[in-house]
Amino acid sequence: MSVTANSVWNNCLEFIQDNIQPQAFKTWFEPIKPIKLSEGALSIQVPSKFFYEWLEEHYVKLLKVALTKELGNTAKLVYIIKMENTYGNKEPFTEQIPSTNRGQVSPQEMDVPIKSKNPELKNPFVIPGIRNIKIESQLNPNYNFDNFLEGDSNRLARSAGMAVANKPGGTSFNPLLIFGGVGLGKTHLAHAIGVEIKDKYPERTVLYISAEKFTQQYIESVKKNTRNDFIHFYQLIDVLIIDDVQFLSGKSGTQDVFFHIFNHLHQNGKQVILTSDKAPVDMQDIEQRLLSRFKWGLSAELQSPDFETRISILRNKLYRDGVEMSEDIIDYVAKHIKSNIRELEGAIISLIAQSSFNKKEVTLELAQEVVEKFVKNTKREVSIDYIQKVVSDYFEMDVATLQSKTRKRHIVQARQLAMFFAKKFTKASLASIGSQIGKRDHATVLHACKTVDNLAETDKQFRKYIDDLTKKFS
């Protein structure tokens, strides 16, 4: 029987598999491809330089033993690094690197410590030694399913989350996109799914990260020319949870790299969980190819909790904190704070604190006082859509007219005011504001904001427009 690169490598894999943990074998050896066997030198292809450095630093001894068994003491190992080109659509390039073992392999060499040329691993998180292969999940164990109470407002999202936790990557809910307004429990549910998966499948690699942190890491990888290592690191994850994915809006480079990571994970049966403050159909400045992938699985909305759910949340919070409160007070808080769970829990915490610090009994009067202050001090979230509607109503026109291409002075000014208030009251980028207000570019928004500032100083009537509208948003 002829000895080929495939047969030699398959025999090596059998030996290696018997000597390391299953997860480590799956992560570091299954992706390797044997390329050729020539004069006792086996060439293997690995996905990135990071991958090569990791093998050399942690598995060189094991590789030597396996290869020696197959090819004898003169065996050599050559790595072929095949990486996608960072820019454009050119063919991937390859780089050949001999193993640290450049000469003969002998049993005596097994105890010689091998030093990598570049011991610094260029990955965005610190990964402990391979013998204890563990990527910190960044999950908060306090956010779990036990304290994520079910109600009509969240039943679909919670049930889908449980299904994913029971069978990550094995349901049609991939990706699972959880969307809804501020304070409705998106982050809580995302963590709860991750915590449950880690509990059921401790060997799975789960990672929670905000889209903002993901973007920062990507920018850093571009600066350090380690983009491929960044991509490969994320491709190793079994369950990737990205919070506030709408933050990728307008960031084409980060969207591009996430597109490649998403494709790899999805094709390999890995689970992706996303949270967003809006449904895919309403996301602005997200590439169409990415939006289409967000729709592959399930988009589940978290809505404002109904009265019964708000009562349950308050009772659960009080029970966990070991605090007793009369039903009429719980009812009062639940009736008057309707917008989201964060405000609801904040109000009850504030009530408990007031009672504790001032040594007052929790009465209905105290509840009324605290809730009144709390509601008054809670800023209402203002969306770009809401701003356009308010400005359009104020100038007695419809939103379509506001967004139109017309250059009539009063419509142009209304549009500029909408852009001005969108920049002032939302966190949206200039590009996103322009895209939502008549499909303009960021330069138009910047010009609009400067024009409004200038007119506010020189035109009394225009100043009145600004003051009137500001009152409507405050």
Question: Which position has the token pair 């449904």?
Answer: 279
* For the ranges 117-121, 188-192, 276-280, 292-296, the one whose mean pLDDT is highest: 188-192
Q: Could you give the CA distance from residue 254 to residue 203 in angstroms, rounded to a whole number?
A: 29
In a domain, 218, yes or no: yes
Same domain, 164 and 298: yes
Mean pLDDT over residues 180-203, rounded? 87
Beta strand 206-210 with 298-302: parallel, antiparallel or unpaired? unpaired
Which one is predicted more confidently, 272 or 180?
272
Domain boundary among 377, 400, 416: 377
For position 94, what pLDDT does the model report? Answer: 41
Same domain, 388 and 367: no
* Minimum mean pLDDT range among 91-95, 165-169, 428-432, 438-442: 91-95
* Minimum mean pLDDT range among 79-93, 160-174, 294-308: 79-93
In a domain, 69, yes or no: yes
In a domain, 115, yes or no: no
Mean pLDDT over residues 420-436, rounded? 85
Sheet strand arrangement including 33-38 = 33-38, 41-46, 76-83, 93-98
- State the CATH number of the domain containing residue 417: 1.10.1750.10
Q: What is the pLDDT of residues 231-276, one digit of tens each?
A: 888 888 899 999 989 888 888 888 888 998 998 898 888 999 999 8
Tell me: pLDDT of 100 over 70. no
Q: Which residues contact 442 (CB under 8 A, 6 or more apart)?
A: 429, 430, 431, 433, 434
For position 2, what pLDDT does the model report? Answer: 63
By percentage, how much of the chain surpasses pLDDT 70?
Answer: 82
For position 425, what pLDDT does the model report? Answer: 85
- State the CATH number of the domain containing residue 92: 3.30.300.180
Tell me: pLDDT of 132 over 90. no
Domain boundary among 377, 404, 434: 377
Handedness of CA 84, 50, 9, 235 (dihedral sign): negative
In a domain, 128, yes or no: no
Tell me: pLDDT of 304 over 60. yes
In a domain, 418, yes or no: yes
Same domain, 179 and 272: yes
Helices 307-321 and 341-357: crossing angle in degrees, nearest 10, is 40
For position 91, what pLDDT does the model report? Answer: 35
Alpha carbon distances (Å) from 106 to 75, 109, 111, 174, 424: 10, 6, 10, 49, 70
By percentage, how much of the chain surpasses pLDDT 90?
Answer: 18
For position 117, what pLDDT does the model report? Answer: 36
Same domain, 373 and 433: no
Average pLDDT of the chain? 78
Q: Which residues contact 11 (CB under 8 A, 6 or more apart)?
A: 66, 69, 70
Tell me: pLDDT of 189 over 70. yes
Which one is predicted more confidently, 206 or 364?
206
In a domain, 248, yes or no: yes
Structural domain range at position 341: 307-377
Same domain, 36 and 49: yes
Same domain, 360 and 394: no
For position 397, what pLDDT does the model report? Answer: 92
Same domain, 352 and 408: no
In a domain, 321, yes or no: yes
Same domain, 293 and 334: no
Tell me: pLDDT of 86 over 60. no
Q: What is the pLDDT of residues 343-365, one digit of tens each?
A: 777 777 777 776 666 666 777 77
Please tell me the total count of domains within the chain: 4
Among candidates 7, 73, 11, which has minimal Cα distance to 40?
73
- State the CATH number of the domain containing residue 286: 3.40.50.300
Same domain, 277 and 389: no
In a domain, 323, yes or no: yes
Mean pLDDT over residues 452-469, rounded? 91
Domain boundary among 302, 318, 336: 302
Structural tokens at position 244: 């506030």
Tell me: pLDDT of 222 over 90. no
Q: How confident is the model at residue 123 (pLDDT cuts 50, 70, 90)?
A: very low
Same domain, 169 and 291: yes
For position 287, what pLDDT does the model report? Answer: 83
Which one is predicted more confidently, 329 or 354?
329
- For 148, other C-beta atoms within 10 Å of its C-beta total 21
Whether the Cβ atoms of residue 422 and residue 428 lie closer than 8 Å to each other:
yes
Same domain, 258 and 337: no
For position 131, what pLDDT does the model report? Answer: 33
- State the CATH number of the domain containing residue 364: 1.10.8.60
H/E stretch holding 461 reads: helix 460-473
Same domain, 440 and 406: yes
Whether the Cβ atoms of residue 198 and residue 204 lie closer than 8 Å to each other:
yes
Q: What is the pLDDT of residues 370-412, one digit of tens each?
A: 777 666 555 555 788 889 999 999 999 999 999 999 899 999 9
